[in-house]
Amino acid sequence: MLQPWYWDFLTSITIDLPLVAYVLTLPSHITPSALTSIALLHQATKALSLSVGELGIDCTSLNQVFARAKWLYDGLEQNGGMLNGTADYPCAVKTSTRGMRISFRGVTLKYPDSPKDAVHDVSFDIIPGSLVVVVGVNGSGKSSMLKLLARLFDPSSGEILIDDEPLASYDMEQVRATITFLSQSPFIYPLSVKDNICYGLGSDVVLTKAQLDTAARLGGSYDWIHKLQDGYDSIIDPWTSIGNGIDGGTYGPVSERLKRELKSHTTQRADSRLVVLDEATSSLDPIAERDLLSAFLNLREGKTMIFVTHRFEHLVKNADQILCMNDGVIVGSGTHTTLMKNCGEYAGLYNARVSQ
């Protein structure tokens, strides 16, 4: 059933207007937080536009459209209330060339309206350059701990230190610029393939074709990229280019105007000092997972690495430190050998994995 022209017009407005308005307010350099906000906003507008499209066919969905619109604009006005620090990061005096030092001191996090702590009285130290694996069942507090590390929330009590200084004392844009975070559902930005690969490098860094090929091979996307008409110069539309092969995606259609505005800005980011993988390999087959993890391990120099995964049996024997969590608490910390002897929770998780 074809929709009337005015529904297409209304759908275009719901997709483009909030995004273009946001992009027009950006400075000449897009910060990591700003670019992530664009992706989140794009995802929200897609959900709203789908509801508008459904309304053109079924008027009973009017309440759903209004609810999604309110959700979108409430999100735009959300203010976390956290004060940004002023200290520069990294600090040449205290920063190790091996990677980021991380310390949690009696950290507790309780979300608003939650009856229990998501993280409770957690303390640990991660030395620069360590390979750390965080394990635990669903709901054990692993993701909440990562949100605290990225300062998406401040602890309800306790303190987080980065390179022996309070996390809250730093300019968070500078800290986040040194963190590479790979999630289970990574964001794809409506830029060129090359821009997506190079995001995370300084704006003055120009990769050669050979370097781009190396990065694409390490990430497992080389063959897909070279099927595109313009290769690395192809502009990514996440809804139609990424996802289920070449036909499905994640975030919805991207307007030409938004693409032009994004291309007019350049990204700027420092070298990564911390790499975090949060279930980033869960959708890969075992061979692809092995190859990707091996690539990361070969690039460890100068970086602290934290892996959060259910499929941890391939990593733990090479880990410098394992944190085992349960119900928001760290129930075990140490090497694989130590935890197999002294932590029943960890031993049970490991044995369950290797028996599958």
pLDDT in tens, 139-165: 899 989 998 998 888 999 999 999 999
Q: Does one domain contain both 106 and 208?
A: no
pLDDT at residue 114, as a whole number:
84
Write the DSSP symbol of residue 89.
S
Q: Does one domain contain both 258 and 293?
A: no
pLDDT at residue 324, as a whole number:
95
The total of structural domains in the chain comes to 3
162 found inside a domain: yes
Confidence class for position 125, pLDDT limits 50, 70, 90: very high
Structural contact between residues 195 and 189, judged by C-beta atoms closer than 8 angstroms:
yes
Helix (H) or strand (E) segment spanning residue 138: none
Q: Does one domain contain both 59 and 207?
A: no
Structural contact between residues 55 and 65, judged by C-beta atoms closer than 8 angstroms:
yes
**Token pair belonging to 300:** 């460890």
Q: What is the mean pLDDT of residues 46-51?
A: 56
94 found inside a domain: no
336 found inside a domain: yes
Q: Does one domain contain both 32 and 143?
A: no
117 found inside a domain: yes
Q: Does one domain contain both 106 and 168?
A: yes
276 found inside a domain: yes
Res 354 pLDDT > 70: yes
327 found inside a domain: yes
Domain that holds residue 247: 193-265
Q: Does one domain contain both 166 and 281?
A: yes
State the angle between helix axes of 32-55 and 62-76 in degrees (0 to 180), rounded to the nearest 10.
Answer: 170
Find the Cα–Cα–Cα–Cα dihedral 322, 324, 328, 331, rounded to 10°: -110
pLDDT tens, 310-338? 778 878 888 999 999 999 999 999 999 99
